[in-house]
Amino acid sequence: MTTIPVPEFQHRTVLLDEAVDALDLTGARADGVYVDGTFGRGGHSRLILSKLGAKARLVAFDKDLQAIATAEQIADPRFQIVHDSFATMRASLSERGVEQVDGILLDLGISSPQVDDAARGFSFRNDGPLDMRMDTTRGISAAEWLATETEQTLEKVIKEYGEERFAFQIAKAIVARRAVEPISSTRQLAAIVAGAVKTREKGKDPATRTFQAIRIFINKELEDLEIGLSQAYACLAPGGIFAVISFHSLEDRMVKRFFASKANVPQPDRRLPIRAVDLPQPELKLLAKFKPSDAEVDANPRSRSAVMRVARRLPLPLSNPEGAQ
């Protein structure tokens, strides 16, 4: 296997202690099976391993080749890394002999090394090739997409995924510029957006929302999340804990709605002759919602938008032991 160099960029794992504590790796649970759906640079995985027992198992997922290279440096027989999206969780775990797990953690944020490495094309702060792919072995780059997509689709993506009110102007400017020259670098795209966005919140770069939107679209982040939430839930054993860290409103809204759909079940009219055993039962119990402390935000400003939601899968309701009709 080709060795992938791992650039030396500092990464601070967001909500590190809170996320691992939420998995409740105590007592018999310390010998369970767990999933880190987004390995990143391994902050959560390493702390989880430090708390697990000798019989435990941790399976991590990531699409980024540099993350995979970092994970492969962990020489621990309890640990496995999967080069794929957590959206493949159910099939990937089954291939490894795992059908149910005791806890799942998804950290949906992009890692600091990805942002800080200009060659990845995620950030407009340093000039680099306009790539933006988490997995550079699959799919098309942002530059390739911008070169061929229709103005209408560009507008839709920037508006919906970036929540950008100037999406129409930005899409129009992109199409006009690409007719003159290829848009191949992050600085080029940032300059185009800056010229189309006339006002912006104080302290926020005009290109922030557009870069976010294109990154989400290119990597199918919301599609993966929608599939991944269902995949993760299907793998979660009764009593298992599901924790998800989101970094923008679109992600958090999806997580909140998914958890609510399993925790809040509609109740029929109490006047109807329905036995208690036949009433709809909640499948998840909402445990907590966390945000970074002031101290963490001061130490790592990139953590300020993080939100973690935690839920526990409830045991299956007991069937009527008497088999009454």
Report the candidate in 257, 253, 229 with the shortest Cα–Cα distance to residue 243: 229
pLDDT of 255: 98
- Residue 267, Ramachandran bin (φ over 0: left; ψ between -120 and 50: alpha; else beta): beta
Q: Is 169 annotated as a binding residue?
A: no
Q: Would you give the end-to-end CA distance of the chain in angstroms?
A: 61
Token readout for 18 is: 């809170």
Is residue 104 domain-shared with residue 225, that is, in the same domain? yes
Q: Is 42 annotated as a binding residue?
A: yes
Share of the chain above pLDDT 90, in %: 78
Q: Is 62 annotated as a binding residue?
A: yes
Query: Given a cut of 60, is residue 140 above it in pLDDT?
Result: yes
What is the 8-class DSSP label of residue 78? T
Q: Is 83 annotated as a binding residue?
A: no
E strand map for 73-225: 79-83, 101-107
Q: Is 278 annotated as a binding residue?
A: no
The larger pLDDT score, comparing residue 248 to residue 114, is at 248
The mean pLDDT of the chain is 90
- Indicate if the alpha-carbon torsion angle 82, 289, 19, 69 is positive or negative: positive
CATH number (domain holding residue 170): 1.10.150.170
- Domain holding 182, by residue range, is 139-218
Is residue 156 domain-shared with residue 300, that is, in the same domain? no
| Choice among 130-139, 214-223, 235-244, 272-281 with the minimum mean pLDDT | 272-281
pLDDT of 125: 86
pLDDT of 114: 81
Query: Given a cut of 80, is residue 277 above it in pLDDT?
Result: no
Q: Is 44 annotated as a binding residue?
A: yes
Query: Given a cut of 70, is residue 1 above it in pLDDT?
Result: no
Last residue of a domain, one of 218, 237, 252: 218
Token readout for 55 is: 């019989």
Is 47 domain-assigned?
A: yes
Share of the chain above pLDDT 70, in %: 89
Given the structure tokens 């679209």, which residue do they identify?
217
